[in-house]
């Protein structure tokens, strides 16, 4: 039976992925040298596509790493000598904070409970902060930080670098990149690709900071330091042998999305999220976990289902719909439904219809 994965990553493959894989095999993409002209074209197709789709300034750099988690480590190593400041409201934002600790920095944080957003009016960023770290969409709880708050934060802290994790909200999230320094994602969520590739979007200011760290004798890592990545990216290459097939596929999916139009993709995401939230808001047993409508994620919808979780997931699976479990201590009592560009309006309607019939 055909299955649709509504899991928040890995998720359902984007519909055109099988065709692109077939073409990649025909073109021997997995065998070509990563120092060849052909590879440089693949690199450029992917990096210029990312800039075009997301409206990133031309002066910014696109680097390829292996995952979102790796990106966190590279960001801390390359932008922080001592002091990062973290907005923590779930497991992924906490990983970002812990990464800084494990690298021997002195991170500080503001922390709110799982399922909550931040009260930005109350937050004072310590003056010694070098880098502010935010997770735009906390995938573990389904809380999305309003972009307007990120913009304000950047404008009120012009001398601090800002890093934003958009792993589970790309390409939906519409950011003003000129106000940000490092933004990163991996490809197995919003782009509907197999896991194994991470992308860093890096400002000239962030590059300057890593150079300053080097000048001070601070380690910024080795082959995936910003400076090493930059040296190779300038030739449309990577320091190591990268996942060439993944980079090829990312370039192709992005071209497909550019053809559809990012505005349309974003509008459809909101339309689908509304259907899901409306359904659970009026459900007799289940309810959306995030109460504050302003911070409800548009891309990962978290639902309290209490003792019915296993039953619901099993029932949906029999109908071909795979939804995610809750995260951490909510693993057994919540479900998470991904709403990525790969999930069509009719997929979402199908899922809701199955849940309706189940209730009867
Ligand atoms: C999944 C996820 C990550 C980790 O990405 P990987 O590619 O699995 O390392 C980081 N941040 C957020 C918000 C995520 O959803």
For ligand 1, whether the C-beta of 135 sits within 6 Å is yes
Mean pLDDT of the 155-168 span: 98
* pLDDT of 280: 98
- Report CA(253)–ligand 1 centroid distance (Å): 20
Question: Ligand 1 within 6 A of 210 CB?
Answer: no
- The DSSP secondary-structure symbol of 340 reads -
Report the nearest-CA residue for atom 4 of ligand 1.
68
Task: Confirm or reject: Cβ of 324 under 6 Å from ligand 1.
Answer: no
Cα 171 to middle of ligand 1, angstroms: 14
pTM of the model: 0.98
Segment 280-323, tens digit of pLDDT: 999 999 999 999 999 999 999 999 999 999 999 999 999 999 99
pLDDT, average across residues 8-13: 97
Mind listing the pLDDT tens digit for each residue in 100-118?
999 999 999 999 999 999 9
Determine if ligand 1 sits within 6 Å of the CB of residue 91: no
pLDDT for residue 245: 98
216 alpha carbon – ligand 1 mean position (Å):
31
With cut-offs at 50, 70 and 90, classify the pLDDT of residue 359: low
pLDDT of 1 reads 81
Dump pLDDT digits (tens) for 206-242.
Answer: 999 999 999 999 999 999 999 999 999 999 999 999 9
Token match 């995952």: residue?
67
> Can you say how many angstroms the Cα of residue 139 is from the centroid of all Cα atoms in its chain?
9
Q: What pLDDT, on the 0 to 100 scale, is given for residue 312? A: 96
**Does the beta carbon of 269 lie inside 6 Å of ligand 1?**
no
The pLDDT value given to residue 358: 81
131 φ/ψ angles, rounded to the nearest 5 degrees? -140, 130
Helix/strand/coil percent split, the chain, to 5: 45, 15, 40
Q: Tell me the sheet residues that pair with 86.
A: 109, 133
Q: How far is the CA of 166 from the centre of ligand 1 (A)?
A: 9
Residues 344-357, mean pLDDT to the nearest whole number: 96
Higher pLDDT, 341 or 2: 341
**How much is the pLDDT for 360?**
54
């Amino acid at each position: 039976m055909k299955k649709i994965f509504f899991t928040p990553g890995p998720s359902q493959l984007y519909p055109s992925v099988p065709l692109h894989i077939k073409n990649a095999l025909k073109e021997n993409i997995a065998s070509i040298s990563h120092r060849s002209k052909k590879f440089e074209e693949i690199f450029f197709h992917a990096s210029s596509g990312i800039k075009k789709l997301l409206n990133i300034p031309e002066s910014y750099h696109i680097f390829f790493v292996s995952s979102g988690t790796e990106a966190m480590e590279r960001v801390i190593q390359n932008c922080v000598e001592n002091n990062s400041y973290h907005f923590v409201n779930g497991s992924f934002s906490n990983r970002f904070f812990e990464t800084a600790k494990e690298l021997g920095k002195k991170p500080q944080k503001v922390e709110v409970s799982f399922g909550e957003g931040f009260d930005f009016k109350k937050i004072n960023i310590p003056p010694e902060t070098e880098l502010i770290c935010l997770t735009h969409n906390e995938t573990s709880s389904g809380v999305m930080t309003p972009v307007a708050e990120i913009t304000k934060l950047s404008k009120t802290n012009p001398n601090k670098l800002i890093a934003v994790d958009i792993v589970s909200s790309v390409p939906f999230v519409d950011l003003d990149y000129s106000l940000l320094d490092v933004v990163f994602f991996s490809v197995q969520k919003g782009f509907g690709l197999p896991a194994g590739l991470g992308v860093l979007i890096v400002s000239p200011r962030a590059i300057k900071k890593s150079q300053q760290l080097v000048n001070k004798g601070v380690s910024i890592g080795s082959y995936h330091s910003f400076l090493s990545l930059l040296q190779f990216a300038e030739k449309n290459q990577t320091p190591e042998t990268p996942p060439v097939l993944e980079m090829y596929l990312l370039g192709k999916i992005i071209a497909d999305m550019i053809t559809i139009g990012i505005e349309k993709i974003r509008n459809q995401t909101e339309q689908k999220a509304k259907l899901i939230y409306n359904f659970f808001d009026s459900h007799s047993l289940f309810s959306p976990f995030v109460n504050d409508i302003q911070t409800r994620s548009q891309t990962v919808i978290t639902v309290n289902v209490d003792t019915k979780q296993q039953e619901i997931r099993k029932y949906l699976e029999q109908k071909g719909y795979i939804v995610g479990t809750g995260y951490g201590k909510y693993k057994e009592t919540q479900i998470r439904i991904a709403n990525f560009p790969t999930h069509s309006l009719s997929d979402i309607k199908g899922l809701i219809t199955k849940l309706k019939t189940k209730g009867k």
